[in-house]
A and B are shown apart, each in its own frame.
Chain A
Amino acid sequence: MFRRTRYHLALFFAVIGPGFITAMVDNDAGGIFTYSQAGARYGYLPLWTLLPITVLLIVTQEMCSRMGAVTGKGLSDLIREEFGLRTTFFMMAALVAANLTNVMANFAGVASSLELFGVSRYITVPFASVAVWLLIVKGTYGRVEKIFLFATVLYVCYIVSGVLVKPDWKEAAIYSVRPVVMLDPGYITMLIGMAGTSVAPWMQFYLQAAVVEKGVSAKEYAGSRVEVIVGCITMSVIAFFIIVACAGAIHSVRPRDIKDATDAALGLKPFGDAAYLLFSAGLFNASLFAACILPLSTSYTVCEGLGFESGVNKRFREAPIFYWLFTGLIVIGAGVVLVPGFPLVRMILASQVINGILLPFVLVFMIILVNKPRLMKKWVNSQFYNAVAWTSVVVLIGLTLALIAITIRGMIG
């Protein structure tokens, strides 16, 4: 029968998307800065952390996408149904606060990356924010996802710029598998920073909601799992090349701290305009991408958790809170970048603290939920998986708490 020919092909494309996009957005302006800093200051030494980070990421992301596929409900919905309104409300409030500063950081990334190309932020940021708003509100789901998938392809910029710098591949290979621990406070802080920023609360909400939106069913879940794993590995590969590029270009010349991600791009300049431009283009792409996803994901999560109408297919009058929240996140997030003297760095540090406080709750709730047979039936965690999951969660919580402590000390000191 003719009608069936496209079934299996469609299945593959139906499944690719959410996990991949989530993992890639994880390498946003903040992530790129963290990795650039690691490479610029410590060279190839921190590369080994990418392997455990990948595992942590896979374990958490896999649980979310499984919950999405089996229950057909978003994480905020499940938390609301199982833990009540008050818990949900406080989580959502923290999520909005943390994500707002994330949006700021990413619009700042858009501004500074385009300034490397000589365009003023007073032109780029308003333009970018309007473009983001229009894309999400006026674009159809299918088209938006295609644009997103295309944006993930642009991360190749980092791989190419990493290659152009001609780093020492042998060292890079060795340190990718050889753990180096030094009792240097700066080094430890950097390791914690890398792991702590790799798993963020918003990712769990976004991924699960996106899996539900895609309509991935429990039966098709095997494909989804592969996609999550591939996505997480790709994310680490990108991170690897960012670190390697900065290690080869900056650390090998003179180890130093960098101010921001654009500073890292400038450091690549001696290795040719191509490496420098690609690094900047990658930063622009990543920042803009995250600036699209974060406001959207936040508004969806909050409205679903609190039971307000949501969705870009609704009219403004039907879903006012959704649109106000979405628009507000973009306007404020982009607006502060244009305010001279705005304490952006402090805000971003504060967002790390909020994220850090929120993450343990999100992860613990996730494990509780994924182990409820009433919700998950035969897809609950196995005992072994639970052991891995709890270990990951405890490690992540430990790292995040350490990161909070360091951040707060830095903010005060």
Chain B
Amino acid sequence: MAEQLLYLTELLGLKVYGLKGRVLGRVSDAALVPVVHPVRIDRLFIGGAFTWLTVRQEQVRRISLDGIYLSEENLTPYYPDESTLRLAQDLLDQQIIDAQGRKVVRVNDVTFEVTSEAGHDVLMIREVDIGLRSVFRRLAQGVLPRRMIRRLQSRIAPNSIGWEYCSIIERDPQRRLRLDISTSLLERMRPADLADIVEELSPEDREALIVAMEPETAAEALSEVEPDIQARIIEALEAERAADILEEMDPDEAADVLGDLEETTSEEILEEMEGAPKADVEELLEYDEDTAGGLMNTEFIAVHDSACAADAIEAVRSQPDLADGVTTLFLIDIDGRLCGFMPVTRALLARPETPLSELSPEEPVTAHVGEKAAKVAELFDKYNLLALPVVDDEGRIAGAVTADDIITLLRRK
């Protein structure tokens, strides 16, 4: 058979036959050594409750539902090895992340493909099984004959996740390395989906996952997590790590997180932060969360009112972090006071040398830093804004509130 399947529940308890047809024991567990091969079962463990023997994959001749036949009998005793992923112990019944379905699932069973490699049978992990069919298979195993279970289960719809989409949750960072668990699957997910997964995990798993990811990805995901969980995660991390992540977040969000922490913790983290993000966050922390100052971001694009369209585009270009989401240009006078604003597209469509003042900038709608958040939301609704400049007592622009901040604000209510 070109493609033959075997399930982990079937494998466990399967008899292992030696060269002379003698039964050496039953399979107790199977292990993957990810650094050697990402999907091939590297060893099987056989034996009873106290002593186990290790069967290496190259010692196996044939694998079938009737048993495992060895080609060599020289077995070594089992020893615990940090770089092996033991399927029955480490995977079965545990939670993993399904990166394709974007959810946390519990492993009911594992499907192998039996293939031939260099003249002997090997097991390749193909899928992780979840859902009713695998529950039935597990419950019936040992009660009904294996072949009968296979016939009966075919009536139930299968529910499996390709192994390539499975991300194992491992708390110990060193073991993560030894097991070669990469976070690239997770990093390819949308931050909001990743955030849902983070919320579903237990606190320790959350922290482990956040630490394992690049600070930038972690920051993106964390921005989308519920505020109270955000605070818990950041609180549990080491100050230095927390600072790295907060530096990557939008300053207004970072300030919100820090504002939810206890004073000593947030000061410790602020201490570890560096550069521009630190200054921005510190400034924002001065404002109450329910005011325009608390909502705003300190990053925005402001150009002098005498500038031309080309200058404006250059200003956008000079702030690549902001370029993705920027909708509005703010015009300021020589004292930094706001004197107008316009959609950024207007500058893009105009001839480069056109002065911005000729593009009919609108009289700015502004909010004072101390303005109530609800009032700010009202302004967005009334004037159909995408961005609203926030000004300080002197009328200088301090930051900008954007429409997504308002959506978050309204959703929280």
Asked if B103 contacts A309 (CB within 8 A), the reply is yes
Contact yes or no, B202 A1, CB < 8 A: no
Which one of A2-10, A125-133, A191-199, A349-357 is at the interface?
A2-10
Q: What chain B residues lie within 8 Å of A85 (beta carbons)?
A: 93, 108, 135, 138-139
CB distance from B70 to the nearest CB of A (A): 28
In the assembled complex, A307 has its CB within 8 A of some CB on chain B: yes
Stretch in contact with the other chain, from B187-195, B287-295, B380-388: B287-295
Q: Is B285 an interface residue (CB 8 A)?
A: yes
10 tightest A-B CB contacts, nearest first = A3-B259, A307-B106, A72-B202, A2-B288, A72-B203, A85-B138, A73-B202, A3-B289, A80-B93, A81-B93
A297 at interface (Cβ–Cβ under 8 A)?
no
Query: In this assembly, does A306 line the interface, its C-beta being within 8 Å of a C-beta of chain B?
Result: yes
Q: What is the CA–CA distance of A212 and B200 in the complex, to the nearest angstrom?
A: 10
Q: Whole-angstrom distance from the CB of B9 to the nearest CB of chain A?
A: 9
Given A71-B202, A72-B204, the answer on whether A307 and B285 have CB atoms closer than 8 Å is: no
With A80-B93, A84-B93, A307-B106: A1-B203 Cβ-Cβ less than 8 Å: no
Q: How far is the CA of A308 from the CA of B201 in the complex (A)?
A: 15
Cβ contacts A to B, 8 pairs, < 8 Å: A1-B259, A2-B289, A86-B138, A86-B139, A215-B232, A307-B107, A307-B130, A321-B132
- In the complex, whether A217 has a CB less than 8 A from a CB of chain B is yes
Determine the distance from Cα of A14 to Cα of B92 in the docked complex, in whole angstroms: 34
Q: Which residues of B contact A (CB under 8 A)?
A: 92-94, 103, 105-108, 130-132, 135, 138-139, 201-205, 228-229, 232, 256, 258-260, 262-263, 285-289, 294
Q: Measuring CB to CB, which residues of chain A are less than 8 angstroms from any residue of chain B? A: 1-4, 7, 14, 71-73, 80-81, 84-86, 89, 212, 215, 217-218, 306-309, 321
Asked whether A1 and B108 contact (CB < 8 A) given A85-B135, A217-B232, A309-B103, the answer is no
Given A85-B135, A86-B138, A215-B229; A1-B263 close (CB under 8 Å): yes
User: Who on chain B is nearest to A214 by CB?
Assistant: B228
Contact indicator B260/A7 (Cβ below 8 Å): yes
> What residues of chain B lie closer than 8 Å to A215, measured between beta carbons?
228-229, 232
Name B107's closest neighbour in chain A (CB-CB).
Answer: A307
- Contacts A1-B285, A72-B201 supplied; 18 other A-B pairs, CB < 8 Å: A3-B260, A3-B285, A3-B288, A7-B260, A71-B204, A72-B204, A72-B205, A80-B93, A84-B92, A85-B93, A86-B139, A212-B202, A215-B229, A306-B106, A307-B106, A307-B130, A307-B135, A309-B103
Kindly state the separation between the CA atoms of A296 and B217 in the bound complex, as whole angstroms.
36
Within the assembled complex, what's the spacing in Å between the Cα atoms of A86 and B111?
A: 19
How many whole Å from A155's CB to the nearest CB in chain B? 29
Q: A392–B130 Cα gap in the complex (Å)? A: 38
State in angstroms the CA–CA spacing of A321 and B259 once bound together.
40
Give the nearest-CB partner of A68 in chain B: B202
The residues of B that contact A72 with a CB separation of less than 8 Å are: 201-205
Which residue in chain B gives the minimum CB-CB distance to A309?
A: B103
Question: How distant is B123 from chain A, measured CB to nearest CB, in Å?
Answer: 21
Closest Cβ of chain B to A54, distance in Å, is 31
Q: List chain B residues, Cβ under 8 A from A306.
A: 106, 135
**How far apart are the CA atoms of A86 and B228 in the complex, in Å?**
36
* Residues of chain A lying within 8 A (CB to CB) of residue B263: 1, 4
Given the known interface contacts A1-B259, A215-B229, the answer about A80 and B203 at a Cβ–Cβ threshold of 8 Å is no
* Chain B residues positioned under 8 Å from A309 (CB to CB): 103
C-alpha spacing A321/B263, complex, angstroms: 45
CB of B287 within 8 A of CB of A2, answer yes
**In this complex, what residue of B is CB-closest to A89?**
B139
Minimum CB–CB distance from A101 to chain B (whole Å) comes to: 24
Cα(A232)–Cα(B103), bound, Å: 36
Chain B hits for A14, CB < 8 A: 228
Contacts of B132 in A (CB 8 A): 321
Residues of A within 8 A of B94 (CB): 81
Minimum distance in angstroms from B273 CB to a CB of chain A: 16
**Cβ A307 vs Cβ B139 within 8 A:** no
Q: Least Cβ distance of B334 to chain A in Å?
A: 33
Among B103, B130, B135, B258, which residue has the most Cβ atoms of chain A within 10 A? B135
Bound Cα distance from A80 to B138, whole angstroms: 13
Residue numbers in A under 8 Å from B256 (CB-CB):
3
Give CA–CA (A308, B135) in the complex, Å: 10
| Smallest CB gap from A311: residue in B | B200
Nearest B residue (CB) for A69: B203
Minimum CB–CB distance from A141 to chain B (whole Å) comes to 11
A243 to B234, CA, bound (A): 50
Contact B105 A307 (CB under 8 A): yes
Contact in complex: B203, A217 (CB < 8 Å): yes
Partner among A2, A7, A84, A89 whose Cβ is within 8 Å of the Cβ of B262: A7
| Residues in B neighbouring A4, C-beta threshold 8 A | 259, 262-263
Quote the shortest CB–CB distance from B139 to chain A (angstroms): 6
A306 CA / B131 CA spacing, docked (Å)? 9
Q: B106, B107, B132 — which one has the most chain A CB atoms within 10 A of its CB?
A: B106
A85–B12 alpha-carbon span in the complex (Å): 14
In the assembled complex, the CB of A168 is this many whole angstroms from the nearest CB of chain B, namely: 50
